[in-house]
Amino acid sequence: MQEKPVAVVTGGVRGIGRAIAEELVEEGYHVVVTYCNSEGQAEKMRELFRNKVDIKRADVSNQDEVDTLFNDIMEHYGRLDVLVNNAGITQDKTFHKMGANEWHQVIDVNLNGTFYCCNRAIPVMREKNFGRIINISSIVGQKGNFGQANYAASKAGMLGLTKTLALENAVKGITVNAICPGFIETDMVSAIPDEVKTKIQDEIPMKRFGTAREVARAVRFLASRDAAYITGQELNINGGLLTH
Protein backbone atom coordinates (compact mmCIF):
# COMPACT_ATOMS: atom_id res chain seq x y z
CA MET A 1 0.00 0.00 0.00
CA GLN A 2 1.15 3.55 -0.77
CA GLU A 3 2.54 5.16 2.40
CA LYS A 4 1.75 8.71 1.42
CA PRO A 5 -1.92 9.73 1.45
CA VAL A 6 -3.43 9.64 -2.04
CA ALA A 7 -5.39 12.55 -3.52
CA VAL A 8 -7.29 12.56 -6.80
CA VAL A 9 -7.81 15.87 -8.62
CA THR A 10 -10.03 15.71 -11.70
CA GLY A 11 -9.27 18.17 -14.50
CA GLY A 12 -5.91 18.84 -12.88
CA VAL A 13 -3.45 19.63 -15.65
CA ARG A 14 -4.37 23.31 -16.00
CA GLY A 15 -6.15 26.18 -14.31
CA ILE A 16 -7.50 25.78 -10.79
CA GLY A 17 -7.01 21.98 -10.85
CA ARG A 18 -3.33 22.31 -11.65
CA ALA A 19 -2.80 24.73 -8.75
CA ILE A 20 -4.67 22.34 -6.44
CA ALA A 21 -2.48 19.42 -7.54
CA GLU A 22 0.66 21.48 -6.84
CA GLU A 23 -0.55 22.48 -3.37
CA LEU A 24 -1.34 18.87 -2.48
CA VAL A 25 2.06 17.66 -3.72
CA GLU A 26 3.66 20.29 -1.48
CA GLU A 27 1.54 19.04 1.43
CA GLY A 28 2.98 15.52 0.94
CA TYR A 29 0.23 13.73 -0.98
CA HIS A 30 0.74 11.37 -3.84
CA VAL A 31 -1.52 13.08 -6.36
CA VAL A 32 -3.43 11.43 -9.19
CA VAL A 33 -4.51 14.00 -11.73
CA THR A 34 -6.95 13.42 -14.56
CA TYR A 35 -7.38 15.23 -17.84
CA CYS A 36 -9.66 14.71 -20.80
CA ASN A 37 -8.50 16.70 -23.86
CA SER A 38 -5.43 18.68 -22.71
CA GLU A 39 -2.82 16.17 -23.90
CA GLY A 40 -0.11 18.85 -24.33
CA GLN A 41 -0.50 20.25 -20.84
CA ALA A 42 -0.64 16.71 -19.41
CA GLU A 43 2.70 15.89 -21.04
CA LYS A 44 4.33 19.06 -19.68
CA MET A 45 3.08 18.28 -16.19
CA ARG A 46 4.32 14.69 -16.47
CA GLU A 47 7.85 15.95 -17.15
CA LEU A 48 7.75 18.50 -14.33
CA PHE A 49 6.30 16.23 -11.65
CA ARG A 50 7.86 12.87 -12.46
CA ASN A 51 7.21 10.40 -9.57
CA LYS A 52 5.15 12.92 -7.63
CA VAL A 53 2.03 13.12 -9.75
CA ASP A 54 0.33 10.35 -11.66
CA ILE A 55 -1.41 11.79 -14.73
CA LYS A 56 -4.22 9.73 -16.23
CA ARG A 57 -6.63 10.35 -19.08
CA ALA A 58 -10.24 9.91 -17.98
CA ASP A 59 -13.44 11.49 -19.24
CA VAL A 60 -15.34 11.96 -15.97
CA SER A 61 -18.65 12.05 -17.85
CA ASN A 62 -18.09 8.43 -18.86
CA GLN A 63 -18.87 6.03 -16.01
CA ASP A 64 -16.75 3.21 -17.46
CA GLU A 65 -13.69 5.46 -17.66
CA VAL A 66 -14.23 6.62 -14.08
CA ASP A 67 -14.54 2.98 -12.97
CA THR A 68 -11.26 2.12 -14.70
CA LEU A 69 -9.58 5.13 -13.07
CA PHE A 70 -10.62 4.16 -9.55
CA ASN A 71 -9.88 0.45 -10.12
CA ASP A 72 -6.34 1.44 -11.20
CA ILE A 73 -5.87 3.68 -8.18
CA MET A 74 -6.95 1.00 -5.74
CA GLU A 75 -4.85 -1.64 -7.49
CA HIS A 76 -1.71 0.53 -7.52
CA TYR A 77 -1.98 2.45 -4.27
CA GLY A 78 -4.55 0.59 -2.17
CA ARG A 79 -5.88 3.82 -0.69
CA LEU A 80 -7.75 7.01 -1.45
CA ASP A 81 -7.76 9.86 1.06
CA VAL A 82 -8.84 12.97 -0.83
CA LEU A 83 -11.05 13.52 -3.86
CA VAL A 84 -11.26 16.94 -5.49
CA ASN A 85 -14.01 17.14 -8.11
CA ASN A 86 -12.69 19.97 -10.20
CA ALA A 87 -13.25 18.91 -13.84
CA GLY A 88 -15.71 21.29 -15.43
CA ILE A 89 -16.72 22.81 -18.75
CA THR A 90 -18.88 25.67 -19.99
CA GLN A 91 -21.06 25.96 -23.09
CA ASP A 92 -22.36 29.50 -22.64
CA LYS A 93 -25.50 30.56 -24.52
CA THR A 94 -28.62 32.45 -23.58
CA PHE A 95 -31.28 29.91 -22.67
CA HIS A 96 -33.57 30.61 -25.60
CA LYS A 97 -30.71 29.62 -27.94
CA MET A 98 -29.54 26.64 -25.88
CA GLY A 99 -30.09 23.17 -27.27
CA ALA A 100 -30.30 19.87 -25.42
CA ASN A 101 -26.72 19.08 -26.48
CA GLU A 102 -25.25 22.05 -24.63
CA TRP A 103 -27.41 21.28 -21.63
CA HIS A 104 -26.43 17.61 -21.43
CA GLN A 105 -22.71 18.09 -22.11
CA VAL A 106 -22.31 20.51 -19.22
CA ILE A 107 -24.47 18.51 -16.81
CA ASP A 108 -22.68 15.29 -17.83
CA VAL A 109 -19.20 16.58 -17.05
CA ASN A 110 -19.79 18.90 -14.10
CA LEU A 111 -22.55 17.13 -12.19
CA ASN A 112 -22.70 13.53 -13.41
CA GLY A 113 -18.88 13.39 -13.41
CA THR A 114 -18.90 14.43 -9.75
CA PHE A 115 -21.49 11.75 -9.03
CA TYR A 116 -19.45 8.99 -10.75
CA CYS A 117 -16.29 9.92 -8.83
CA CYS A 118 -18.05 10.23 -5.45
CA ASN A 119 -19.87 6.99 -6.12
CA ARG A 120 -16.52 5.18 -6.33
CA ALA A 121 -14.68 7.14 -3.63
CA ILE A 122 -17.27 7.04 -0.83
CA PRO A 123 -17.30 3.24 -0.29
CA VAL A 124 -13.47 3.19 -0.04
CA MET A 125 -13.47 6.12 2.39
CA ARG A 126 -16.28 4.62 4.49
CA GLU A 127 -14.27 1.44 4.90
CA LYS A 128 -11.27 3.44 6.19
CA ASN A 129 -13.35 5.79 8.34
CA PHE A 130 -11.58 8.71 6.76
CA GLY A 131 -11.95 10.87 3.70
CA ARG A 132 -12.04 14.37 2.33
CA ILE A 133 -14.18 15.33 -0.64
CA ILE A 134 -13.95 18.85 -2.02
CA ASN A 135 -16.27 19.82 -4.83
CA ILE A 136 -15.33 22.82 -6.94
CA SER A 137 -18.69 24.48 -7.51
CA SER A 138 -19.03 28.16 -8.48
CA ILE A 139 -20.59 31.48 -7.53
CA VAL A 140 -22.69 30.86 -10.63
CA GLY A 141 -24.37 27.92 -8.85
CA GLN A 142 -25.33 30.29 -6.03
CA LYS A 143 -26.64 33.28 -7.96
CA GLY A 144 -27.03 32.29 -11.63
CA ASN A 145 -25.29 34.05 -14.50
CA PHE A 146 -26.40 35.48 -17.82
CA GLY A 147 -25.75 32.88 -20.56
CA GLN A 148 -25.03 30.02 -18.14
CA ALA A 149 -28.30 28.19 -17.34
CA ASN A 150 -26.65 24.80 -17.93
CA TYR A 151 -23.51 25.63 -15.93
CA ALA A 152 -25.49 27.26 -13.10
CA ALA A 153 -27.74 24.21 -12.82
CA SER A 154 -24.74 21.86 -12.75
CA LYS A 155 -22.93 23.88 -10.09
CA ALA A 156 -26.07 24.29 -7.94
CA GLY A 157 -26.57 20.53 -8.26
CA MET A 158 -23.06 20.01 -6.90
CA LEU A 159 -24.01 22.04 -3.82
CA GLY A 160 -27.04 19.84 -3.08
CA LEU A 161 -24.93 16.73 -3.57
CA THR A 162 -22.21 18.13 -1.27
CA LYS A 163 -24.61 18.81 1.58
CA THR A 164 -26.31 15.43 1.35
CA LEU A 165 -23.05 13.48 1.19
CA ALA A 166 -21.82 15.49 4.19
CA LEU A 167 -24.85 14.44 6.24
CA GLU A 168 -24.72 10.80 5.22
CA ASN A 169 -20.99 10.32 5.82
CA ALA A 170 -20.24 12.52 8.85
CA VAL A 171 -20.16 9.58 11.25
CA LYS A 172 -17.64 7.82 9.01
CA GLY A 173 -14.95 10.49 9.35
CA ILE A 174 -15.58 11.81 5.87
CA THR A 175 -16.00 15.54 5.30
CA VAL A 176 -17.62 16.83 2.12
CA ASN A 177 -17.38 20.52 1.28
CA ALA A 178 -17.81 22.78 -1.71
CA ILE A 179 -15.73 25.70 -2.79
CA CYS A 180 -17.50 28.42 -4.74
CA PRO A 181 -14.94 30.40 -6.67
CA GLY A 182 -15.96 33.67 -8.22
CA PHE A 183 -14.17 34.78 -11.39
CA ILE A 184 -10.65 33.36 -11.37
CA GLU A 185 -7.83 34.03 -13.88
CA THR A 186 -8.17 30.90 -16.01
CA ASP A 187 -8.74 30.00 -19.66
CA MET A 188 -12.47 29.84 -18.87
CA VAL A 189 -12.58 33.46 -17.75
CA SER A 190 -10.24 34.58 -20.58
CA ALA A 191 -12.85 33.30 -23.02
CA ILE A 192 -15.51 35.74 -21.75
CA PRO A 193 -16.06 38.57 -24.27
CA ASP A 194 -13.96 41.61 -23.31
CA GLU A 195 -16.87 43.97 -22.68
CA VAL A 196 -18.57 41.42 -20.37
CA LYS A 197 -15.26 40.81 -18.57
CA THR A 198 -14.82 44.52 -17.89
CA LYS A 199 -18.37 44.73 -16.54
CA ILE A 200 -17.81 41.76 -14.22
CA GLN A 201 -14.49 43.11 -12.93
CA ASP A 202 -16.18 46.39 -12.18
CA GLU A 203 -18.81 44.63 -10.06
CA ILE A 204 -16.24 42.75 -7.95
CA PRO A 205 -15.61 44.72 -4.73
CA MET A 206 -11.88 43.85 -4.90
CA LYS A 207 -11.80 45.04 -8.53
CA ARG A 208 -9.76 42.06 -9.69
CA PHE A 209 -10.15 38.43 -10.65
CA GLY A 210 -8.93 35.80 -8.21
CA THR A 211 -5.95 33.53 -8.79
CA ALA A 212 -5.95 29.75 -9.03
CA ARG A 213 -3.52 29.70 -6.10
CA GLU A 214 -6.06 31.52 -3.90
CA VAL A 215 -8.53 28.70 -4.53
CA ALA A 216 -5.95 25.93 -4.20
CA ARG A 217 -4.81 27.11 -0.77
CA ALA A 218 -8.35 26.70 0.54
CA VAL A 219 -8.56 23.18 -0.90
CA ARG A 220 -5.29 22.34 0.83
CA PHE A 221 -6.77 23.47 4.14
CA LEU A 222 -10.08 21.63 3.70
CA ALA A 223 -8.17 18.45 2.84
CA SER A 224 -6.09 18.68 6.03
CA ARG A 225 -6.70 17.12 9.45
CA ASP A 226 -7.14 20.68 10.79
CA ALA A 227 -10.44 20.92 8.89
CA ALA A 228 -11.92 17.81 10.56
CA TYR A 229 -14.97 19.63 11.98
CA ILE A 230 -15.91 21.43 8.77
CA THR A 231 -18.42 19.60 6.61
CA GLY A 232 -21.37 20.41 4.36
CA GLN A 233 -20.10 23.96 3.79
CA GLU A 234 -19.87 26.31 0.84
CA LEU A 235 -16.64 28.29 1.00
CA ASN A 236 -16.85 31.44 -1.11
CA ILE A 237 -13.66 32.74 -2.76
CA ASN A 238 -15.00 35.59 -4.84
CA GLY A 239 -13.41 38.92 -3.85
CA GLY A 240 -16.70 39.96 -2.20
CA LEU A 241 -18.89 39.50 -5.29
CA LEU A 242 -21.42 37.55 -3.22
CA THR A 243 -21.67 37.82 0.56
CA HIS A 244 -23.83 35.46 2.52
Three-class DSSP category at 6: strand
Residue 129 or residue 190: which is nearer to ligand CAA going by CB? 190
Residue 44 or residue 104: which is nearer to ligand CAA going by CB? 104
We find the least distance from the C-beta atom of residue 82 to ligand CAA, in angstroms, to be 22
Residue 25 or residue 192: which is nearer to ligand CAA going by CB? 192
Query: Where on the chain is the footprint of ligand CAA (CB under 6 A)?
Result: 90, 92-94, 97, 138-140, 145-148, 151, 183, 188-189, 192-193, 196
Three-class DSSP category at 165: helix
Question: 232 in the Ramachandran plot: left (φ > 0), alpha (ψ -120 to 50) or beta?
Answer: left
Tell me which residues are annotated as active site: 151
> What angle in degrees, to the nearest 10, is found between the helix axes of 149-169 and 113-128?
10
Distances (CA, A) of 116 to 65, 81, 111, 232, 240: 10, 17, 9, 19, 32
We find the least distance from the C-beta atom of residue 193 to ligand CAA, in angstroms, to be 5
We find the least distance from the C-beta atom of residue 110 to ligand CAA, in angstroms, to be 10
Percentages helix, strand, coil for the chain, rounded to the nearest 5?
A: 50, 15, 30
Report d(CA 10, CA 121) in Å as an integer. Answer: 13
Q: Give the number of other Cβ atoms within 10 Å of residue 48's Cβ.
A: 10
We find the least distance from the C-beta atom of residue 64 to ligand CAA, in angstroms, to be 28
We find the least distance from the C-beta atom of residue 6 to ligand CAA, in angstroms, to be 27
Residue 201 or residue 233: which is nearer to ligand CAA going by CB? 201
Q: Which residue's CB comes closest to ligand CAA? A: 147
Residues forming beta bridges with residue 236, ordered by sequence position: 180
Nearest to 208 by CA among 243, 235, 237: 237
Residue 139 or residue 212: which is nearer to ligand CAA going by CB? 139
Residues 6+ away with beta carbon under 8 Å from 28: 4, 5
Question: 15 in the Ramachandran plot: left (φ > 0), alpha (ψ -120 to 50) or beta?
Answer: left
Report d(CA 240, CA 100) in Å as an integer. Answer: 34
